Structure formats: structure tokens, C-alpha cells
Amino acid sequence: MKHTKVMRYQIIKPINDTWETLGHVLREIQRETRAALNKTIQLAWEWQGFSAEYKQRYEEYPKTKDHLGYSALHGYAYNRLKDEFYRMNTANLSQTVKRAADKWKSDLKDVLRGDKSIASFKKDCPIDIVSQALRIRKDGSDYIMTLSLVSIKYRKELERKQSFFDVLISANDKTQRDILDRLIAGEYKLGASQLLYHKKKWFVNVNYQFEKEETAFDQDNIMGVDLGIVYPVYMAFNNSLNRYKIEGGEIERFRAQVERRKKQLLQQAKYCGDGRRGHGTKTRIQPIEVVSDKVANFRDTVNHRYSRYVVDMAIKHRCGTIQMEDLSGIAAEDTFLKRWSYYDLQQKIEYKAKEAGIQVVYIKPDYTSQRCSKCGHIERDNRTEQATFECKSCGFKTNADFNAARNIATKDIEKIIAETLK
């Protein structure tokens, strides 16, 4: 089965030109991309209006080929716009127009019902790069991307010999490097990708495809995932005593470092120099906001890593179902969620699980920490301390998080608990 994924890479610097030239070109093309997207939507709206009037008059819809000269709307739109947006590589422009036409087609029913507004693209919209306009090569330990960005006409205006730009990209972790190596080797196929500008940096979202052998999963084979403080993630199964856990020390150490750094910056803000004092509160708290961004980035990275581990363990044990506690009713201010974004972690687990063909089921967390996973007895005193569970009925004693994860992994656990409480 064919899988499609995207990996983001930061552009470090251009190799065959200056940042001044490349930056100017990217800004111009991004401006043209936005305008082309919005004009395509406008042409689509005009065609929709004509079609509605035609249907009312002749009791049938007009054929695109007969009236526009093209079998598809994006072909007509491209022909109308290609001379106006001459700076863009023509293949990239065609992809941009098709993106807008596809967006119009997918939104049309909702727009006509009044459930959705007509699409409008903002100035920071990504730039389309077709697979033929992007090449990757390795130079020693460095990875170089060749981006065909401009038309022949615009290249001559820029007084450049080539229409492409060679750029050095950042590939810091093993996963990023493996993907690039497989693309270079032909194991993965390059798809239509995008350039985007984020926080004053340019990135390439590389779209790649690969064939993946499907794994046979049993939906009655369930992994239960318990989220907590001592162990951010504890995993157990309904048909085995296997267990996996993620230690919480990494998160706590980073959080403690951040809190210390925030306090230091708050103290420094009282005695800051003229450079930070002259522009008001915003300038004073800017270093603190930088620290907050680091926290958000760290949390996002860690949750991606943790969610990958959870889904990998489910695949290893052929689990067709992952069950987790439903945290949607817990306020973000709740102390349980305040220490770490468990909800964000759950969303990442769900996304990766569905990608692998595993269903995700959310269950009510009530009594899962008080129920004995061995005999089913529910009692508050079964868990008198954070780390240990000891059943007052059968004497079963184990790690409290493991016991909760085993309960969460039980099929129809909500019904079982409801019957027990009766």
C-alpha cells in the first residue's frame, strides 16, 4: 500500500547566490502564489454563477469543455493566469492553480449551503514546488536541494544564468537524514512539495511516498494507555502481562530548568538597561516569550517522540485498538494537564495510530485507578498511595499505573464498571 508523508527541512543558506537575491525571489513568488490562488477561486466562483444561470434557463448544466475550452476548471484558469503571473516556474504555477481549484471543489457544497465561506488565501501561504522542480543530492555530510523557482523570463530580469537555486538544508536528526538518503537512492518517491515562511525562516515541506506492507491487526487485541505524572505514559495489554512505560524525568528536568530561567529573566527585567527599557513592556518580556517558545517546541518534539513509541509498541503486539482516557472534559487549567500537554500527546497518538490502521477508542477514566484489574473489585482504598495498587478484596498488589493501564485496555470497560457499581 502506498503511504504519503511530509517532512520539514529548514533552508540554512543559498549556495549559488546570496540571501538577498533568494529572499527577494521567494517574497515575489509568494506574493504571486497568493494572488494566483485567490484569482483561481474568483474564476471558479464566476463559473459557478454562470452554471447556475445556465441551468435555470436550459434545465441542464453547461459542459466545461464547450464553454471554457478545457475539460477541467484548473486548465482554463491556468491559461488565463499564466501571462499575469510570469515570474513563477510554469509547472509550479500549474500546481498552485490546481490546488485552488481542488479547494474550491471540496468546499463547494458547504459554500452553497452557507456552512463555509469562500476560500481566501493569506499572504503567508506556502509556495508550491512540483516534484520535477526539486532535486536532492548529498555533498559529503551536507544535503543540497535544487529548487527550480523562476520562469525563463523572470530569470533574464534577474540577470541570472540559471532558473534554479541550490540551497543547504538542515537535517539534524536520524529520521530526517534517512528520508533524504532514501529519496536520493530512489527508495522513496518525491511528491509535490511546498516552501513556507515561518518565524523569519524559510522551510521546505518535502512530500514523499513509499510502499508499506500492511500489518494484520486484531481489533480485540487492545493496548491501554494510562497518562500520569510519575510516568507520562504507561502501556498495558488486555491479552498479555507485557508492559511499557516512559519515565517522566526528562519532562520534569526541562520544566524545572525553564522555571528557573523564567525567574531569572523576570528579576533581570526589573534592572534592564536602556535597550530593553525604552520600548515598554513588550520589549522587557521578549526574552521570556523566547523561553516560552522553547517550551512549546520542546513539548511538541517530545510528544511526537512519545506518540511514535506508543504506536510502535501497538504495532509490535498487533493491537488493532488503542484505548485511552477521554480528557476532553478536563479543563486545561486542571493541575493534571497543567504539568504537560497530555491532550496534545493524545492527538498525536491518534493521528499516528490511524495512519498505521489502528483504531483509537476513548473511555471514561472514572474508577480505572480504583478497580482491580485482576478480580474487578472497585474500592477507593485499593489505591491509598500514588505509586502502588493493592486490592482489598483479593490482595493483588502491583504498580498503580500498570493496574490502571490494564483496566483501560479491557474491552467494554465502561459497561463492566457500570455493572460492578450496580
Q: How far apart are CA 312 and CA 322, in angstroms?
A: 12
In the block, which residue shows the cell 494537564?
337
Catalytic residue among 32, 325, 412, 419: 325
401 catalytic residue (yes or no): yes
Of the candidates 104, 105, 97, which has an alpha carbon nearest to the alpha carbon of residue 78?
97
What nine digits make up the cell of 63?
A: 459542459
Q: How far apart are CA 196 and CA 293, in angstroms?
A: 19
Catalytic residue among 32, 128, 350, 401: 401
Residues 6+ apart with CB under 8 A from 42: none
Q: Give the burial string for 346-358 (b: 16+ CB within 10 Å, else e).
A: bebbbebbeebeb
Give DSSP secondary structure letters for 338-398. Answer: HTS-HHHHHHHHHHHHHHHT-EEEEE--TTTTTB-TTT--B-GGG--SSSEEE-TTT--EE
Catalytic residue among 166, 226, 252, 259: 226
In the chain, what are the helix, strand and coil shares in percent, each to the nearest 5?
A: 50, 25, 30
What nine digits make up the cell of 90?
A: 510554469
SS3 label, residue 152: helix
Residues forming beta bridges with residue 203, ordered by sequence position: 10, 196
226 catalytic residue (yes or no): yes
Is residue 398 within 8 Å of residue 371, measured between CB atoms?
no
325 catalytic residue (yes or no): yes
Residues 6+ apart with CB under 8 A from 6: 193, 205, 206, 207, 208
Is residue 223 within 8 Å of residue 314, measured between CB atoms?
yes
Of the candidates 205, 380, 240, which has an alpha carbon nearest to the alpha carbon of residue 313?
240
SS3 label, residue 117: coil
Pairing of strands 319-325, 359-363: parallel
Is residue 305 within 8 Å of residue 297, measured between CB atoms?
no
Please give the positions annotated as active site: 226, 325, 401
